[in-house]
Structure 1
Amino acid sequence: MIKDLRVRAAQPSDMPAIAAVLERCGLPVDELPRLVGEFHVALMESELVGCACAERFGDTAIVRSVAVLREWRDQGVASHLVNAVMMRARANGTRRAVLLTSSCPSYFARYGFSLIHASKLPTEVLESEEFQRLRNTSALCMCAMLS
């Protein structure tokens, strides 16, 4: 665990640094201008080292764009970010969080996520850019109840 790590809601001025982290982690940046207010960022001193987003659709939030720079991985940064976006979603009245992952299902299971068939999700979630982008991939759909 990193002693001096700070996690906070993203600000518009964080957009270039968030984009750099997403790009270095191989994640898309095309929706960042629309979603920057839904992100949380992790900072070490003044360096942005990670980010995560929870995009809300009614009573469901899609947890997405969880990214941590390689040199800061395995130190609890992603855990702090996932906890922050889920806490914010819960505080905003979101009942469930969903995500798509092709590489980390066991990681997200720690937060109460379990596999679910995507067809059980609301239409607006299935029609989201995130789900459309990953619909024909090997990504697994996972869900966690927040309330």
Structure 2
Amino acid sequence: MRGLVTFREATATDLPVVENLLIAADLSLAGVQPHFPDFVLAVQGNEVLGVAGLERYGPHGLLRSVAVRADQQGRGLGQALTREMIERATAAGLETLALLTTTAAAFFPKLGFTPVTRDKLPAALQASSQLQGGCPASAVVLHLALPQGGLS
């Protein structure tokens, strides 16, 4: 990557770019709009290189929509976005973070997530469109307990 990559909150004007990234990554658009204030972009200058989103349900969060532009993949940006979202979820006082994936089951355990069955997820997460069919039943479910009181 050339230049500094920074993270910033997504704004309403970013929605078309984010939707295009998600479509290119074959990720669901279901539920994106109502949770868009909790989406974060990886940017270089004015270019959006990647995205990650968070859905909040009480003290639990669902990490979703982690996508990196095809020409930027393999450079650690997906890991950096995921770490950024873990830090933000922890700072927001969330207790757990879960995710569903059909393509990256080997990626997220490197960042501390462990596989679980859907019935082990907090009941509050069942409100997510991702768990109501936005993500197929074949998706792998991963879970992460977040440190309480912030990162040390």
1:41–1:52 Cα contact (<8 Å) kept: yes
Deviation at 1:31, TM superposition (A): 2.5
Q: Which residue of 2 aligns with 1:29?
A: 29
Q: Which residue of 2 aligns with 1:95?
A: 95
TM-score of the two chains, using structure 1 as the length reference: 0.91
TM-score of the two chains, using structure 2 as the length reference: 0.88
The percent identity for this pair of structures is 27
* Matching residue's letter, 2:59: D
1:2–1:75 Cα contact (<8 Å) kept: no
- Runs of 4+ in structure 1 deviating by more than 3 angstroms, as ranges, are none
Which stretches in structure 2 are left out of the alignment for 5+ residues? 148-152
Q: Which residue of 1 aligns with 2:124?
A: 124
* Matching residue's letter, 2:76: G
1:118–1:126 Cα contact (<8 Å) kept: no
Aligned-partner SS, 1:106? coil
**CA 1:59 to 1:2, structure 2 compared with 1: closer, same or farther past 3 Å?**
farther
Deviation at 1:30, TM superposition (A): 3.8
* Matching residue's letter, 1:68: V
Q: Partners of 1:25 and 1:83 in 2: how far apart? A: 19
Q: Partners of 2:50 and 2:41 in 1: how far apart? A: 6
Describe the superposition over 1:32-64 as per-residue Cα deviations: whole angstroms up to 9, x where unpaired. Answer: 221210100011221112100111111111000
Aligned residues: CA RMSD: 1.7
Q: Partners of 1:106 and 1:17 in 2: how far apart? A: 27
Aligned residues: 147
Deviation at 1:124, TM superposition (A): 2.2
* Matching residue's letter, 1:85: M
Q: Partners of 2:57 and 2:127 in 1: how far apart? A: 10
Q: Which residue of 2 aligns with 1:56?
A: 56
Deviation at 1:9, TM superposition (A): 1.6
Q: Partners of 2:2 and 2:115 in 1: how far apart? A: 30
